Amino acid sequence: MLMLQTDFNSDIAARFGNVEEQTIDFLGMPFFDAPSLWRLLILFGINLLVCWTITHFFYYRKSKRRDYYFTYILFSTAIFFILYQLQNMKIEVGIALGLFGIFSMIRYRTEQLPIREMTYLFVLIAISIVNGAGMASSYATFIAVNLLFIAIIWILEAAGLSSRKAQKIITYEKFALIKPERREELLADLRERTGLDIVKVQVGSIDFLKDTAFLKVTYIPDDLEPNDIDMVTKFKKK
């Protein structure tokens, strides 16, 4: 016997469980989307764990800079959420690049950002961009990318390639010692007079009238805090 159904009775369908699950939305956006929420939490958790691992175990272990610790974690979190939200928005590439151009103009005006700190900031931004985009083909690939970041940093740090060094400009009056053949004597004199563990010296501008020269010395600082006036040779008179 063939039966033709022309009308759909929602009450009968609901009684037998044949009605599709209805979602509550507000202004065209679902009020609760479990798969999307779980995806956000998982990706954010991985990103936060990776960024915290790099900041705490690699950067902070040597530098002991709590201000950059604070900056790195919040910066990576902000970048992640921006990228995660951008992939759900229909915007042009130019607008997206313009948003990141804003970050390129951010400068730390209180002090010059050291190379090591700038490198870690760039790495954490890159990791957050990769994680925020979440375009990996699988979770295994996604996790592998983050582990490779950590592995590379660990290898470079273990090899001692990121040993902290500082530089200072010195006005030097022992004119005879700046000759290349007397470089060891120059280093010995600078170490004795400054008390710094100087590993390299470069001769800059030479004043024959005053028999002085500007020297740029590279040393290993005892204090992990950066010296903001290392490159200052004299103070401006007000």
Q: Tell me the whole-structure pTM to 2 decimals.
A: 0.62
**Cβ(55)–Cβ(124) under 8 Å?**
yes
| Residue in 67, 166, 71, 79 with CA at minimum distance from that of residue 116 | 166
Residue 203 in tokens = 């001769």
According to the model, what pLDDT value does residue 232 have? Answer: 65
Position 105, amino acid: M
**Cβ(40)–Cβ(121) under 8 Å?**
no
100/212: higher pLDDT? 212
| Residue in 137, 176, 171, 131 with CA at minimum distance from that of residue 150 | 131
pLDDT band for position 84 (50/70/90)? confident
According to the model, what pLDDT value does residue 152 have? Answer: 92
Whether the per-residue pLDDT at 124 is higher than 80: the answer is yes
How high does pLDDT run on average in the chain?
77
pLDDT band for position 18 (50/70/90)? very low
Residue 131 in tokens = 């994680």
Residues 179-190: tens digit of each pLDDT: 889 999 999 999
CB atoms within 10 A of CB 72: 24
Q: Kindly list the distances between the CA atom of residue 207 and the CA atoms of 23, 85, 173, 184, 215, in Å, as whole numbers in the listed order.
A: 79, 58, 10, 22, 12
Whether the per-residue pLDDT at 95 is higher than 80: the answer is no
Name the percent of the chain lying above pLDDT 90.
19
Whether the per-residue pLDDT at 20 is higher than 50: the answer is no
Whether the per-residue pLDDT at 107 is higher than 80: the answer is no
Maximal CA-CA distance, the chain: 116
Residues 125-180: tens digit of each pLDDT: 888 888 887 666 678 888 888 999 999 999 988 887 666 777 888 999 988 898 88
Q: What is the mean pLDDT of residues 89-100?
A: 56
pLDDT band for position 2 (50/70/90)? very low
Residues 26-72: tens digit of each pLDDT: 666 677 778 888 888 888 999 999 999 999 999 888 777 788 889 89
Q: Where are the domains of the chain?
A: 34-158, 166-220
Cβ-based neighbours of 46, under 8 Å, separated by 6 or more: 131, 142, 143, 146
Spacing of C-alpha 230 from chain mean position: 24
According to the model, what pLDDT value does residue 7 have? Answer: 54
